[in-house]
Amino acid sequence: MAAENGGFSFASGAAKGRNGLPMIHTEKKKAEEICHDDSSLPVKAQTLDELHSLQKKKSAPTTPIKAAHADEDRHKQQLQSISASLASLTRETGPNVVKGDPARTTAETPRLSAAASHQQQHRHFAAPNLNMSDSGLKFTHILYNLSPAELYEQAIKYEKGSFITASGALATLSGAKTGRSPRDKRVVKDETTADDLWWGKGSPNIEMDEHTFMVNRERAVDYLCSLEKVFVNDQFLNWDPENRIKVRIVSARAYHSLFMHNMCIRPSPEELENFGEPDFTIYNAGQFPCNRYTHYMTSSTSIDLNLARREMVILGTQYAGEMKKGLFSVMHYLMPKRQILSLHSGSNMGKDGDVALFFGLSGTGKTTLSTDNNRYLIGDDEHCWSENGVSNIEGGCYAKCIDLSREKEPDIWNAIKFGAVVENVVFDEHTRDVDYSDKSVTENTRAAYPIEFIPNAKIPCVGPHPKNVILLACDAFGVLPPVSKLSLPQTMYHFISGYTALVAGTEDGIKEPTATFSACFGAAFIMLHPTKYAAMLADKMQKHGATGWLVNTGWSGGSYGSGSRIKLAYTRKIIDAIHSGELLKANYTKTEVFGLEIPTEIEGVPSEILDPANTWSEKEAHKETLVKLGGLFKKNFEGFLNHKIGADNKLTEEILAAGPNF
């Protein structure tokens, strides 16, 4: 019994202790059997600080030890470059920058002697100019290209509204803005851009002058330098190695840094060491408003693009999509200059190397339909089409997650795991399970994840010339056919029109669908006149023999209210038939008004839904709605009548003739 009780026993008749109580007698059978809490060896540390310092191993250097000198120089250059990025241009000084988290000083600095750690802390770059403000008297700590794990820790410690969801994603709030603010976008109009860019009616480019840009830039930089720490991401855009762009993103939130880590192309450690100077820099001071007394400012939000300086300033909005789509605008300027077409489209590739592009406005299905279990994902939103084929601009995807279901969209569901950022979603306060149907914060809930999170991503994200160009429209009027085959002029007509119709505010009763026309399926992001992109697309499609298709992912059997949205499963069958080449061989009939070629049969899709005229119970209402939509198309296209497309006027005339006729 004594031995059973862990070696302790109250031996009867044992010797009495000093106070007369019986002494606890420990039976010592062998020397090794001394009592321990556990059986492992003692920890190799003398103090708690030392113990904590053992926890973290220094990341292995990618350059050999012998190059320590070069390493030191590169480190200094890097800090100089970051300080220069953050320089106040009126005071002509950059801040004193130092790498690392200000909260983690000596005690947590891994495996460094006190002397070495002291040295490390002061290996900063001090600005040579002493004409400085208070912010020049302190160090600005730079959290440079942190890993997702480090960014999670930063977010959870310092950003209210950061939580880990049950699947391991980082849930965050984007603040007052839960979508982009296109009316607050400004572009510097100078001698060059005045001629190059698309200005005026219908254009997304609202002008500002160079001086006002500098006022906002100074405001953003002063705000960022007043902080204890800022995040700096050095990354790439465009998987085409010949046309890769180096971007630097300076931001104040771990959320923004992780978002861009996911959305841009992540450099390897070697690429990061040799990064040098960025081609383009974003200053994201989104928590801080712009000054509304500033010329050109019409709200507290301003997203300012200066192509000459290769800089963008963000004030007054924390919606992360501004950075992603802001850089996309930059690519819409830089790439066409190199005869490369930039596209607001998703893209995927079949086992036989057949590539498809999916154009469409927000919510029409680019992300959903390019993420296809039977095909390789090249990208979900932004691409380039060059002489070499297609390349994704980004390193990640940004999926809408309202009503996301595991059954219908398993790949996107599974990508929302550790490392992914979910914006503005609602979750159970205890289990942290996300309720994707909850619109309490916004309907525009989003998930941003690296493209490798999709199991059949095509890495590197490039592919050959497209075989199919699919134009997606979510037609809430319910009159466009689920699929039509387009001639080249028809493809151009619909590309320039950029139609979709969504239903605003679904809560208070039935609302009329509103038609949206957005040239090139992305007027908010294009920099040149739409016909410039259209001419390039026509040229490339002709040269590479690509077929155009119009796919309605919206309503069938009536408009919003009486009909219903086409089942995703049917749309997927339609898309499958396009990819396989089956649909090209189908029999076609022509529709009224739009003159669209529609197939009579598709495997897996009920034939009666292929012609919307069949699905409406009231034939009169169908015709009326069809003519109404045709009229809206005609009215929209009036704005393009005076623009010549291509070398001669022949294509322009053909395109006009390819629109609705009634």
Ligand X SMILES: C=C(OP(=O)(O)O)C(=O)O
Please report which residue ranges of 372-521 form alpha helices under DSSP H.
410-415, 488-497
How far apart, in Å, do the first and last CA atoms of the chain sit? 102
Query: Of these partners, Ca ion, ligand ADP, ligand X, none, which one is at the site of residue 177 (CB under 5 to 8 Å by kind)?
Result: none
Q: Is 635 left (phi over 0), alpha (psi -120 to 50) or beta?
A: alpha
CA-closest candidate to residue 390, choices 345, 350, 325, 351: 345
The verdict on whether 52 is a catalytic residue reads no
8 Å CB contact between 151 and 101: no
The verdict on whether 157 is a catalytic residue reads no
Rg (CA), the chain: 30
The verdict on whether 484 is a catalytic residue reads no
Query: Of these partners, ligand ADP, Ca ion, Mn ion, none, which one is at the site of residue 83 (CB under 5 to 8 Å by kind)?
Result: none
The two structure tokens encoding residue 646: 């291509």
The verdict on whether 178 is a catalytic residue reads no
- Which residue do the tokens 């669209």 mark? 596
Which residue among 124, 180, 400, 465 is the active-site one?
180
Three-state DSSP state, 550? strand
Under the binding rule (CB under 6 A), the answer on residue 565 touching ligand ADP is yes
Three-state DSSP state, 327? helix
Part in contact with ligand X (CB under 6 A); list of ranges 183-191, 286-294, 321-329, 502-510: 321-329
Under the binding rule (CB under 6 A), the answer on residue 185 touching ligand X is no
- Measured CA to CA, the distance from residue 152 to residue 430 in angstroms comes to 19
Nearer of residues 14 and 569 to ligand ADP, judged by Cβ: 569
The verdict on whether 344 is a catalytic residue reads yes
Which residue among 325, 375, 400, 529 is the active-site one?
325
The interface with ligand X within residues 363-422 (CB under 6 A) comprises 366-367, 381, 398
Size of the site for ligand X (CB under 6 A): 9
Under the binding rule (CB under 6 A), the answer on residue 325 touching ligand X is yes
Q: Residue of minimal CB distance from Mn ion?
A: 367
Tell me the closest approach of the beta carbon of residue 503 to ligand ADP, in angstroms: 12
Question: Cα–Cα distances in Å, from 240 out to 350, 388, 459, 464?
Answer: 20, 8, 12, 12
Nearer of residues 124 and 579 to Ca ion, judged by Cβ: 579
- Which residue do the tokens 């049969």 mark? 601
Which residue among 367, 518, 553, 652 is the active-site one?
367
- Measured CA to CA, the distance from residue 151 to residue 253 in angstroms comes to 9
8 Å CB contact between 465 and 198: no
Task: Write each residue from 355 to 394 as x if it is in contact with ligand ADP (CB under 6 A), else as -, in one continuous string.
Answer: -----x-xxxxxxxx-------------------------
The verdict on whether 325 is a catalytic residue reads yes
Phi, psi torsion values for 412, nearest 5 degrees: -70, -45
Helix (H) or strand (E) holding 463: strand 462-463
Query: Of these partners, Ca ion, ligand ADP, ligand X, none, which one is at the site of residue 455 (CB under 5 to 8 Å by kind)?
Result: Ca ion
Which residue among 381, 411, 475, 576 is the active-site one?
381
Under the binding rule (CB under 5 A), the answer on residue 300 touching Ca ion is no
**Which residues make up the interface to Mn ion (CB under 5 A)?**
366-367, 381
Three-state DSSP state, 270? helix
Three-state DSSP state, 308? coil
Omega before 460 within 30 of 0, i.e. cis = yes
Tell me the closest approach of the beta carbon of residue 457 to ligand X, in angstroms: 17
Tell me the closest approach of the beta carbon of residue 450 to Ca ion, in angstroms: 15
Q: Which amino acid is at 654?
A: E
Which residue among 362, 391, 445, 591 is the active-site one?
362
Part in contact with Ca ion (CB under 5 A); list of ranges 239-247, 410-418, 553-561, 637-645: 410-418
Query: Of these partners, Ca ion, Mn ion, ligand ADP, none, which one is at the site of residue 90 (CB under 5 to 8 Å by kind)?
Result: none
Under the binding rule (CB under 5 A), the answer on residue 298 touching Ca ion is no
Phi, psi torsion values for 506, nearest 5 degrees: -80, -5
Phi, psi torsion values for 186, nearest 5 degrees: -130, 145
The interface with ligand ADP within residues 252-271 (CB under 6 A) comprises none
The verdict on whether 18 is a catalytic residue reads no
Under the binding rule (CB under 5 A), the answer on residue 380 touching Ca ion is no
Tell me the closest approach of the beta carbon of residue 637 to ligand ADP, in angstroms: 23
Size of the site for ligand ADP (CB under 6 A): 16
Using CB atoms within 10 Å of the CB of residue 503, give its burial: 0 to 12 exposed, 13 to 18 middle, 19+ buried. middle
Strands (E) across 299-371 are located at 302-306, 311-315, 341-343, 345-349, 355-359
The verdict on whether 375 is a catalytic residue reads no
Tell me the closest approach of the beta carbon of residue 324 to ligand X, in angstroms: 6
Nearer of residues 204 and 321 to ligand X, judged by Cβ: 321
Binding site for Ca ion (CB under 5 A): 373, 411, 455-456
Active site residues: 180, 325, 344, 362, 366-367, 381, 446
Binding site for ligand X (CB under 6 A): 180, 321, 324-325, 362, 366-367, 381, 398
Binding site for ligand ADP (CB under 6 A): 360, 362-369, 399-400, 553, 565-566, 568, 571
